[in-house]
Structure 1
Amino acid sequence: MPQSDNANRYRLEVLMSAPRNRWLVLLAVMLAFIPVVIDMTILHIAVPSLTLALGATGTEILWIIDIYPLVMAGLLVPMGTLADRIGHRRMLLTGLAVFLVASATAAFAPSAAALIGARVFLAIGAAMIMPNILAIIRQSFEDEKERGIAFGLWGTVGAAGAAIGPLTGGFLLEHFWWGSVFLVNVPIMLLVWPLAYFTVPRTAPQGRGRWSIGQVLVLIAGLIATVYAIKSGFKPSGDLLVTFASLAAGLALLGWFARQQMRSRQPMLDLGLFARPAITMGIVMAIVVSGALAGVELTIAQELQFVVGHSPLQAGLFMMPLVAATAIGGPIAGYITATLGLRPVASLSLLVAGASLAGLGLSDFHNPGWEVIALMAVLGLALSIGLTASSIAIMSGAPAEKAGAAGALESTGYELGAGLGISIFGVLLSSVYANAIRIPAVLAGRVEAGAANSIGETMIAAERLGADGELLIQAGRAAFSDAHGIVLLTAAAIIALLAVVVFLALRNHRAANASAAAH
């Protein structure tokens, strides 16, 4: 009987993973991709609920949110190399199982520290999933036209998933407790795992890249130390000695990792790809644009809930124009880039995004008119086109034999950008807020010392004051509105500057492509 069961299972696997069922394979990997990308942004809308439920400080909230993309960014390249060595199917199934267990653990975390730890394991599972999705799509679709459709759907799902995260979080928080934003992953993974098991074909591992756990740990430690230095450097009360020591350690570790890759004949990360301007600019765009999108979503979500007084669901619905526009930007970008060229599309999309952010920074969210809705939609469309343009720049600039390495760099840029964006914009927001808040004189001596560090901590302190807490809440809301505007205007200036840099750096892009095609 066991032999008969095994034979039946084998026949089922062969039937479902046959070439004619490649679209089932695409469905499986898309379903696996959705929770991973939604988890990048779903917590943005949950910040107020997390802050109050766990009593988390502003620094703890930032780590809860950005430890996920930061650890994932450090693991994507090594996990991709490991998957080449042991098989994409095996790595994908293992990653799905890790992500499932980590999601359940995060949902019931009793403290901010426990939730940070659970998010680390979520990142490990996500890093095991992400590199295999593109590889499996590439292997499953031999026809170039079908493969293009499949990759287009992947890009659309990625952009829409990241954008719809706040709406999903808002809906769940409206009806359930904060842990539901993690627990929702469990039924999805229970569906995806057997679907992937039976549809994703078995392929022989072909990778030869060197994989070293020591180098992996060095890369992650270097990234986290560098980001910690950025965090502490922006704090008004930050220790300069700790900041410089952390920055020096982080850069030293990253420098050592880069040296090891340059000396290796089979590196985990081929740094020679950065010699191509299109790839370098594509990665810079991926980092800056994904960072701006994550940071801006986090800022607006807090403004809508803490200041305007929206519920999580109302805040998610308010951001729907951004969600809808982001979802359609990818296919539009592919068409207009083929028509107009990468350089004008990339630089113009960034310029439009910068202008939209500036408009939102000057807008009143208490009385939003059609102008705010239009600005949100234009911002989502422009950032989505910018992200797709960065992907086109990276993949078009890489030789065919290094497409896998370029894809890993692209994914790393997105994840690192999201983590850095949340860190930099979050710390900038806290810094400006701390300088802007004015504690009412009647509350002098009654307000905790850390109440001015973030609006979340202000709200917690206000609850403890009872009826007099309303005065502190009003002071916090006024300060956050000022800080919110400054952060959005800063993001606008950074993206506008990047538009100019991209326009200049890609001035020879068409000529370089034509020369490569001729040879």
Structure 2
Amino acid sequence: MKNGQITGELVSYGSQNPRRWLILLAVMLAFLPVVLDMTILHVAVPTLTQALGASNNHVLWVIDIYPLLMAGLLVPMGTLADKIGNRRILLTGLVIFGVASAAAAFAPTAEILIGTRVLLALGGSMIMPCVLGIIRRTFEDESERGLALGLWGTVGAAGAAVGPLIGGALLGHFWWGSVFLINVPVMLIVAPACWLLLPRQEQTTSGPWPIGQAFLLILGMIAVVYSAKTGFAGKHPLAVVLLTLTFGLAMLVLFARKQLNAATPMLDLSLFAHPAILAGIIMAVVASGALAGVELTLAQELQYVLDKTPLQAGIFMIPIMAAAAAGGPVAGWLSARYGLRPVASLSMIIAALSLGWLAVQDFHTPGLIVPVLLALLGLALSIGLTASSIAIMGAVDASKGGAAGSLEATGYELGTALGITLFGVFMSVIFGHNLSAPVDLPLHLADQAAVSMGDTYLVAQQLSDEKAAALITAGKAAFSTTHSVLLLTAAALIAGLAVLVFFLLAGVRKVANP
């Protein structure tokens, strides 16, 4: 060991490594279950609600706790990987993720399921930054790195998009826990492959790992998101919401001050000086947040309103995943030919137009236009976000690959958590305003039914057939209106993002043609 760097005779990272494409395959397979878990539960929401008797708040936390905790853990785990090695952290994360998946599959209550999702987030937060860090160190050649990141983007986009289809297929034949249990055999294959392929000695950075700073970041993020969730829901006193928000912001400010003053900061805030990195993180937060909210509500629209099975809902969303799978490699080629700025901006504009057009479509008679719009949405978002990844990873040295990768991944996870939180609460508010419950429905049942479409179905189970049918009909009408409003809101957010990215990427050069 010399100057904080490990040297040795074993295979090392580098573009001349003959195993580099096998390494890419291994880490992409390790990454796949992590992104699948972001969306695989979307089509399982109605089934989960009925099987566990989960409230709307329980369901939101089951889905939200995973990206929320990952958002707080990714930067600490990314910097830890830079210090002790990506291989060690990745293998540990794979084991934790596999064990947590098995535990989640057999969770008897919503509360225990939330706890197992915490463990899944811990494992996932170890896997994600290591994958990007390993790709950055393995592919030193810029053209090869562009291709590798394009393939990685394909796995990420397609994995997130295929989640509802896999979830629907599993729920069509097995119980809800199967959406978690499927991760176990994948980990049993991927973990040994990574153990064999990844170099045992790699370049690391010296210095201690400031665990206290990690806790500040995690506490701050959780408090801010929790205050947003409770504040918009309006179920807690304003003083409590403001106190929680103030505490969260104070923790984040203290974390930032420590980064600026520390000799060995956990997060190198100088990375934000790169316009490409700043643009990429903003894109990750806004786009992933809007997409998470759209996918969650679309899956519920298809099942609750159109009465589709989970499998049918997954099949309906195939255009998104098929187009997203093509977006990664296409982004690398387009970015090399035309530059990151026009590719990222134009792709976001196309995504916004697709969402706005979808908002005025009748999903009962989708025809050809709805599948085409879904495909455009998946392709545009995949191209834009992969182009962002290429810009971010090309803006840093290999030694900071893990930190930059974890920072980008934090943007995705934080965006997903905020998207589920804000869109979920916003959906509840809009749904409640538009629900016209039967006039003879008791007040306490009417209030419960107005929380969400899932609660409407739970209330309907307590009524006579005639009253239940009337309530469900009213709920379907209210949810369709809510879905249109959410699609228009997401379109506006992504349109604003396109303008912002256009200015932030003004000085970013083209990448080498992959």
TM-score, length of structure 2 as denominator length: 0.92
- Whole-Å separation in 1 of the counterparts to 2:448 and 2:99: 35
Deviation track 1:207-261 (CA, whole Å, cap 9, x = no partner) reads 2254222221221111111111111222244532222112111111111111111
1:64 CA displacement: 0.7
2:136 and 2:401 in contact (8 A); partners too: no
1:25 is displaced (CA, Å) by 2.4
Task: In structure 1, give the amino acid aligned to 2:505.
Answer: L
Structure 1 counterpart of 2:310, which letter? P
Partner of 1:44: 42
Return the match for 1:161 from 159, 162, 174: 159
Q: Is the 8 A contact 2:150 2:329 kept in 1?
A: yes
1:65-88 per-residue CA deviation (whole Å, 9 max, x = no partner) reads 111111111111111222222222
Q: Tell me, what secondary structure is at the counterpart of 1:443?
A: coil
Q: Secondary structure at the match of 2:411?
A: helix
- Cα pair 1:218 1:257 within 8 Å, conserved: yes
CA distance in 1, matches of 2:498, 2:263: 36
- Number of equivalent positions: 499
Residues 99-134 of structure 1 deviation map (CA, whole Å, 9 limit, x = unaligned): 111001111111111111100000001111122222
* SS of residue in 2 equivalent to 1:46: helix
Q: Does 1:477 align with 2:476?
A: yes
Runs of 4+ residues deviating >6 angstroms: none
Shift of 1:314: 0.3
CA contact (8 A) 2:281 2:411 kept: yes
Counterpart secondary structure, 1:39: helix
Q: Is the counterpart of residue 500 in structure 1 residue 503 in structure 2? A: no
Matched to 2:221, the amino acid is L
For residues 140 and 341 of structure 2, what CA distance do their matches in structure 1 show?
Answer: 30
The answer as to whether partners of 1:210 and 1:268 remain within 8 angstroms in 2 is: no
The structural deviation recorded for 1:407 is: 2.0
Equivalent position amino acid for 2:468 in 1: G
The residue number in structure 2 matching 1:235 is 233
Closer/same/farther in 2, CA of residues 290 and 437 from structure 1, 3 Å limit: same
Q: Distance in 2 between matches of 1:181 and 1:338?
A: 38
Which deviates more, 224-233 or 385-394? 385-394
Other structure's SS at 1:265 match:
coil
Q: How many Å separate the matches in 1 of 2:409 and 2:385?
A: 11
Which among 130, 133, 139 is matched to residue 132 of structure 1?
130
2:178 aligns with: 180
Is the 8 Å Cα contact of residues 149 and 386 (structure 2) preserved in structure 1?
no
CA distance in 1, matches of 2:393, 2:139: 17
Q: Deviations over 1:290-329 (max 9, x none)?
A: 1111111101000000011000000000000011111111
Q: Which amino acid is the alignment partner of residue 492 of structure 2?
A: A
Task: Label 1:83 to 1:333 Cα distance change in 2 as closer, same or farther (>3 A).
Answer: same
Please say which of residues 444-453 and 182-191 is displaced more in the overlay: 444-453
Distance in 2 (alpha carbons) for counterparts of 1:50 and 1:85: 40
- Measured after TM superposition, the shift of residue 400 of structure 1 is 5.8
Percent identity of equivalent pairs:
60
- Report the AA paired with residue 267 of structure 1: P
Unaligned stretches of 5+ residues in structure 1:
1-12, 515-519
Higher helix share: 1
Coordinate RMSD, CA, aligned: 2.2
Contact 1:290 1:417 in 2 (8 A): yes
Return the offset for 1:466: 3.8
Match in the other structure for 2:6: none
Q: Partners in 2 of 1:200 and 1:337 — Cα distance? A: 29
Corresponding residue SS for 2:462: helix
Given the superposition, is the C-alpha separation of residues 371 and 351 from structure 1 closer, same or farther in structure 2, using an over 3 Å criterion?
same
Aligned residues of 1:232 and 1:239 also touching (Cα < 8 A): no
Tell me by how many angstroms 1:507 deviates: 3.3
> What amino acid does structure 2 have at the position aligned with 1:492?
A
Q: Which residue of 2 aligns with 1:430?
A: 428
Say if 2:62 and 2:113, in contact at 8 Å, map to a contact too.
yes
What amino acid sits opposite 1:124 in the alignment? Answer: L
User: What residue in structure 1 maps to residue 5 of structure 2?
Assistant: none
CA distance 1:39–1:177, change in 2 (3 Å): same
Q: Distance in 2 between matches of 1:358 and 1:404?
A: 36
Give the Cα–Cα distance (whole angstroms) in 2 for the partners of residues 237 and 147 of structure 1: 49
Query: Quick one: which of 338, 352, 358 aligns to 2:336?
Result: 338
Q: CA deviation at 1:448?
A: 5.5
CA distance in 1, matches of 2:100, 2:124: 10
Provide closer, same or farther for how the CA distance between residues 139 and 492 of structure 1 changes in structure 2, counting only shifts above 3 A. closer
Does the C-alpha gap of structure 1 residues 19 and 187 become closer, same or farther in structure 2, counting only changes over 3 Å? Answer: same
Q: Is residue 119 of structure 1 aligned with residue 122 of structure 2?
A: no
Task: Choose between structure 1 and 2 for higher RCO, CA contacts under 8 A separated by at least 6 residues.
Answer: 2
User: What is the CA–CA distance in structure 1 between the aligned matches of 2:444 and 2:257, rounded to whole Å?
Assistant: 54
